[in-house]
Chains A and B, each alone.
Chain A
Amino acid sequence: MDILQIVGIGIVSSILILLLKEQKSSLAFMLAIFTGLIIFLALIQQISHIFKLIDYMAGKANIHGVYVETILKIIGIAYIAEFGAHLTKDAGLSSIASKIELAGKVFILLLSIPILTALIEAILGFFPG
């Protein structure tokens, strides 16, 4: 019952963070980072299983490997950007959080360029002449 451990750790650490917030808000922020980190490290195995399933299905549907890999990278970038943005927002620095989100969007767009070009060429291919 992994979910119980995760929820338990989340609640206990939020209590500790609130306890630390009055005296040492910087240490409370570090505790928040570490809690997010623990919860994600607990999920990483399950996520890799899910991705193996996606790869397997893509193989069966003989989709080109590049597309699936790009999608997985985009998911990774989206997750990291969201992780950093929410943490800095918790610390009260919403300006830095929006900068991080902007950077995440830019990198995702950067990664999707080959897919977009392939899409456009496919569409143009439908038109005769």
Chain B
Amino acid sequence: MIQDATVLFQIAGIGIIVAMIHSILKQMGKEEIAQVVTLVGFIIVLFIVLNGLADLFQQIKSVFLFQG
């Protein structure tokens, strides 16, 4: 359970860093790079969460006898 907690904090860290970079780049005037950075951060977090969800659904299937 603890290794999942570290992944949780990684996601929060990515989110905070992306938000900071976005605002910094906006001050520097580079709008489109800021958007790209936000998108990349979003995609990384999406992959992590989707892998977790796939694992969750697999566990649910095995526990709740979803053989049908």
A-to-B contact residues, CB < 8 Å = 2, 5, 9, 13, 16, 19-20, 23-24, 26-28, 30-31, 33-35, 37-38, 40-42, 44, 47-48, 51, 69, 72-73, 75-77, 79-80
- A30: which B residues are within 8 A, CB to CB? 11, 45-46, 49
Main secondary structure of the interface of B (DSSP, over half): helix
A41 close to B4 (CB less than 8 A): yes
Q: Is the CB of A20 within 8 A of B15?
A: yes
Q: Number of B interface residues at 8 Å Cβ cutoff, please give it.
A: 35
Assembled-state Cα–Cα distance A32/B22 (Å): 22
Closest Cβ neighbor of A51 among chain B residues: B63
| Cross-chain contact of B42 among A26, A51, A69 (Cβ < 8 A) | A26
